[in-house]
Structure 1
Amino acid sequence: MLHSDQIILTNIEAINKIPAVAHILEIVCRTTGMGFSAVARVTSDTWTVCAVRDEINFGIAVGGELKLETTICNEIRQHKQAVIIDHVAEDPDFAHHHTPSMYGFQSYISVPIILKNGTFFGTLCAIDPKPAKLKNPTITGMFTMFADLIAFHLDALEELAKTERELKKEQEIAVLRDQFIAILGHDLRNPLNAISNSTQLLSRSNLDERTGRIIKIIRDSSFRMNGLIENMLDFASGRLGGGITLSRTADEDLERLLFQVIEELQAIWPLRDIKVNFSFDHPVHADGKRVAQLFSNLLANALNYSPSDSTVLITAFSSEKEFNLCVTNQGKQIPDAAMERLFQPFSRGEVEPSQKGLGLGLYIASEIANAHDGTLDVSSTPEQTCFTLNIPFTHDNFK
C-alpha cells in the first residue's frame, strides 16, 4: 500500500500528465483578471498544489502545502460546492473569515473536482488581492467545465494505469505459463523416450496376439504424446520470443522424409488408404525436419477427421519457383466459424472425444510455413478438405 506522501506525489504526477492543465490555468487568469490560479489536491489531512500559475508572487510552487484548516478548500471538501467571492470586504459570509485575512486576497473562486466514482479529488481555484467580477454564468460555467475536464482526464489516466497493471500481470502470468510448458515438455521427453524404446525392444520378442496389441497401443500412444510434446515446446518457444527456428539444407531430401512420415502414421492407421503423388523436379531449400513435422500434423489430422473407409490423398511437387504440398481428406466440411480461428493456438473446432488434443498442431504448422516465408492455406467443401503448403523460391530462401 502506498504511503500518503507517495499518493500525493502520484496525484501531482497525474495532473502534470494532462497537457490541458497549464492552458486551463492561463485561461482562468486571463479571463478573470486574477493573478493566481491552481489545481489543488485536497485530502482530509493536506492541501497540496499540483499545478500552479502565479503572477502575483503568492509564493507557493508545485508540491507546496498549506495548512488544511487555513483554507476554504477544506470546507469545499466537506460540502462539495463551489465558493465564489467577488469582494471579500463586501461579502457577508467571508468578510470576517480567517482565510482571506491570512492570505491577503479579496477575490476568490474555487470549484470542486469530483471523480467519476464520486471521490473528491481537490479544487480548481483562483485568488487575487483585488476584487473581481466572478459571480456570473460565464465564469462559473467555465470553471465548472474545466473542473469536469480535469476530472475526466484523471479518470482516464486511472483507467489507463489500471489496464497497464492488468496487462503487465497477464504478461507475467503468460511468461510463467509458457516457461512451465517448456520445462514440462522437456522433462516429459525422458520418460516418454524410455517407454518408446521399451516398446521397440518388446515388439522384437515372440509375443502372443493379445500382448502384441497392447504393445501397439503403447507404441501408438507414445507417438501421439511425442507429437503433443513437440507442439508444446514449439509453442512455448514462440511465445517466449524464440519463434520457430529453422536449419535449412540446400537440397533437402523431402521425398524421403515425407514417405517416412507416411510410414509412421500408416503403422498407427494400418487399414487406412493413403495415396501419394510426388514429383520432385527441383532441389528444395528447406528445413526437412520442420516440413516433416508440419506434414505429420496435417496427415494425422486428415486421418483423424475423415471416414475410416475413405482415401487420404497427398500430392507434392517442386519446381524452379516453388515447393507445394497438399493433403486432402474426405471428412466433414469445416464450419465457417471454425475456419476463422483454425490456425490460432488452442483452437480445435468440434471434435470427437477420441480426437481431443491441445489444439496446437495447425498453429505450429502455420508457424513453420511462415518461418519458410511460405503459406499454409485450407479449403473445405462438403466433399473434401485440403490443406496446402506453398514455399516460393526466392533469392532470400538461399541466403
Structure 2
Amino acid sequence: MKEELSKRVEEIQAISAVPKILETVAAMTGLRFVCIAHVTDDSWTACAVLDCAHHTPRIDGFQSYFSIPIFRADGAYFGTLCGLDPEPARLTDSVTVSTMHLFADLVSKQLDADNKLVEARADLSSERETAELREQFIAVLGHDLRTPLGSILLGTDLLALEHPDPESRPIVERIRSSATRMAALVDDVLDFTRGRMGAGIPMRLRDADVEGTLEQVVDEMRGLYPQRPIEATIAPGLWLRCDPERVAQLLSNLLKNALVHGSDDAPVRVAASMVKGELVLSVANAGAELPQGVIDGLFKPYWRAASRSGDEGLGLGLYIVEQIARAHGGTIEVSSKGGATVFLFRLVTSLPEHVHQAP
C-alpha cells in the first residue's frame, strides 16, 4: 500500500507543470492552500501542495473549498485538484470553474502521457534485449551450425573419393543430401531473421552476366529432382547490376516451389531474357488453378500448401524470394490460370543497352 501511494506521489511530482498550476490556482482563487491529492476509498494523500500560509489550515471553520476530480485516460479515478481556506472566497464564477476543470484535465493528460513514456522506455529496453538475443541467434546459426554442417559435407566428399563402394554410395549421398538441405534451412532462417530485424537481406551488388548463374541453378535442380523434367530457355548475355548469388537463390526457391507443388505429369518451364532494358525471369508449372486467397498468402513467411505433407522446408522460400526482389528494386508477381501457375520476376538494369547483348 505504501509503495502504491509513493508511486502516485512520484507520478504527480514528475509533472513539471504542477507547481505553476498550483501557483496559478492560488492566484486566481485567493486560496492559501491548494494541492493535488490521490484519493482512494480509505486514503487521501497530498501529492503536490502549495501552502501560502506555510501551514495547513485547520479543518474546522473552512469557509472556502473546491475539489475538481482528476481521471486517468481509461476513466479510472485518480484524485482531485483541490483548495481550501478559512476565509471566504469567490469560487463559483464560470471563468474560475472552467479554468479549474482545464487544469484538472491537463494533469490527467500529463499522467497518461508520462505512463506511456514509461511503457515506451520499458518496451525499448525489452526490444534492445530482444535484438541482442537475435544477434546471438544469428551468430549460432551462422557459425555454430554451419561449421559442423561443413564438416559433414566435407566428410561425404572424402568418403565418396576414398571408399567408392557401390553399396555404401546411396548412404553417403543421402547424408550429403540431408546436410545440404539442413544448410539451406539455416540460410533461410538467417535471411528471414535479418529481414525481420529491419536490416533486410544483405546484398553484394555488382555488374554481372547472370546467364551462367541461372543455367547452373537449373542443372543443380535437375540433379536434385532427376525424375522431373525442367525446360529452360535462358537468353545469352544477360548483363545487369545485381547480386548474382541472390538471383540464383531466387531462381532456386522458385524452381523448388514449382517442382514440389506443380503437377508431376508436366515439365517446369524456366525462361529468362532482357526486354527493353529489363530482366524478365519466369518459372511456370502445370497444376490446378490457385484460389486468390492462396495467392495472397504465398509470400508470407511460414506459408505452406495444405495439400502437401510438410517435408518441403520451413515455408520461407517464397518469402525470401520477395525479399530478394525488393532488395534489388525489382518486382515478383504470380498468376494462376489455364492450368498453369507462373511466377514472374522483373528487374530494371542500369547498364547501357549495348552491354545486354551477348559478345
1:392 to 348, 354, 358: 348
Higher relative contact order (CA 8 A, sep 6+): 2
Write the deviation string for residues 124-172 of structure 1: whole angstroms up to 9, x where unpaired: 1134565235579998798678757754663565366446635653563
What amino acid does structure 2 have at the position aligned with 1:307? S
Aligned to 1:41: 37
Q: Which runs of 5+ in 2 are unaligned?
A: none
1:307–1:167 Cα change, 3 Å: farther
Contact 1:179 1:236 in 2 (8 A): no
Contact 2:206 2:241 in 1 (8 A): yes
Aligned to 1:63: none
Contact 1:134 1:140 in 2 (8 A): yes
Q: Which runs of 5+ in 1 are unaligned?
A: 61-65, 72-97
Farther-moved stretch of structure 1 (136-145 vs 220-229): 136-145
Aligned to 2:234: 278
- What is the percent sequence identity of the aligned residues? 35
Contact 1:182 1:232 in 2 (8 A): no
Q: Indicate the SS of the match to 1:285.
A: strand
2:201 to 226, 244, 248: 244
Contact 2:259 2:285 in 1 (8 A): yes
Measured after TM superposition, the shift of residue 256 of structure 1 is 1.2
Q: Indicate the SS of the match to 2:251.
A: helix
Measured after TM superposition, the shift of residue 292 of structure 1 is 0.8
Aligned to 1:219: 176
Aligned to 1:109: 66
TM-score w.r.t. length of structure 2: 0.77
User: How far apart are the structure 2 equivalents of 1:339 and 1:39?
Assistant: 62
Write the deviation string for residues 33-61 of structure 1: whole angstroms up to 9, x where unpaired: 545685513365842317x7xxxx8278x
Q: Indicate the SS of the match to 1:394.
A: coil
What amino acid does structure 1 have at the position aligned with 2:141? L
1:3–1:343 Cα change, 3 Å: same
Aligned to 2:192: 235
- Provide the aligned length of Structure 1 versus Structure 2: 348
Contact 1:306 1:330 in 2 (8 A): yes
User: How far apart are the structure 2 equivalents of 1:9 and 1:395?
Assistant: 63
Aligned to 2:111: 154
1:208 matches 2:166 = yes
1:7–1:24 Cα change, 3 Å: closer
Instruction: Show the 5 A alignment for 1:1-399.
Output: 8-13=9-14, 15-16=15-16, 33-34=29-30, 38=34, 40-42=36-38, 44=43, 46-49=45-48, 58=52, 98-99=58-59, 106-115=63-72, 121-127=78-84, 130-134=87-91, 147=104, 150-151=107-108, 154-155=111-112, 158=115, 161-162=118-119, 165-166=122-123, 168-169=125-126, 172-173=129-130, 175-177=132-134, 179-204=136-161, 205-208=163-166, 211-240=168-197, 242-250=199-207, 252-319=208-275, 321-350=277-306, 352-381=308-337, 383-394=339-350
TM-score w.r.t. length of structure 1: 0.71
What amino acid does structure 2 have at the position aligned with 1:113? I
